[in-house]
A and B are shown apart, each in its own frame.
Chain A
Amino acid sequence: MVADAQVRQALNSVISDQHSRLLSALIANLRDFQMAEDSLQDALTSAISHWERSGVPSNPAGWLLQTARRKAIDRIRRARNFDVKSEQYGMLLQLDQKDAEEERCEDIPDERLRLIFTCCHPALDAKSRVALTLRTLGGLTTGEIARAFLDTEPAMAQRLVRAQNKIKAAGIAYEVPDAEAWPARLNSVLTVIYLIFNEGYAATRGDRQIRKDLCEEALYLARLVNQLRPEQAEIEGLIALISLIHARKAARVGPDGAMISIEEQDRALWDRLAINDATDGLKTALGRQTPGPYQIQAAIQAVHAEAVSFAHTGWPEILGLYKALMKYDASAVVRLNWCVALSYVKGPKAAITASADLAKDLASYQPFHAARAAFFRAAGDFTAADAAYLRAIELSENASEAAFLEAKRRCAKKEAEQLLGL
Chain B
Amino acid sequence: MQYLALIYSTPEPTPDYGTPEFEAMMKEWRDVTQVYQDAGVMLGGEALQPVETATSLRKRNGTLETMDGPFAETKEHLGGFYLFDCKDLDEAIKYASMIPTARTGTVEVRPIMDVG
Mark B77-116 against chain A: 1 for CB-CB distance below 8 A, else 0: 0000000001111101100000000000000000100001
* A169 near B111: Cβ-Cβ < 8 Å: yes
Give the residues in chain A near B35, CB-CB below 8 Å: none
Closest residue of chain A to B93 (Cβ to Cβ) is A123
Interface residues on A, range: 10 to 19
Interface residues of B toward A: which range? 10 to 19
B43 interfacial contact with A, CB 8 Å: no
Is B48 part of the binding interface, using a Cβ–Cβ cutoff of 8 Å? Answer: no
Against B, the Cβ 8 Å flags (1 = close, 0 = not) of A159-202 are: 00000000001111101010001000000000000000000000
A81 at the interface (CB under 8 A from B): yes
List residues of chain A with CB within 8 A of the CB of B89. 121, 123, 170-173
* Closest chain A residue to B113, Cβ basis: A169
**C-alpha spacing A173/B111, complex, angstroms:** 13
Which residue of A has the minimal Cβ distance to B1?
A: A171
CB pair A173–B93 under 8 Å, yes or no, is no
Among A81, A169, A172, which residue has its beta carbon within 8 angstroms of that of B88?
A172
Chain B residues with Cβ under 8 A from A169's Cβ?
111
**Do A170 and B87 form a contact, CB below 8 Å, given A81-B116, A123-B93?**
no
Per-position binary interface string of chain B over residues 5-41, scored 1 when its CB falls under 8 Å from any chain A CB and 0 otherwise: 0000000000000000000000000000000000000
Residues of chain B within 8 A of A170, CB atoms compared: 89, 111
Bound-complex Cα distance A171 to B3 (A): 9
CA distance A171 to B110 in the complex (A): 10
Q: Can you list 23 A-B pairs with a CB-CB distance of less than 8 A?
A: A81-B116, A121-B89, A123-B89, A123-B93, A169-B111, A170-B89, A170-B111, A171-B1, A171-B3, A171-B86, A171-B87, A171-B88, A171-B92, A172-B88, A172-B89, A172-B90, A173-B87, A173-B88, A173-B89, A173-B90, A175-B88, A177-B90, A181-B90
Q: Residues of A with Cβ closer than 8 Å to B?
A: 81, 121, 123, 169-173, 175, 177, 181
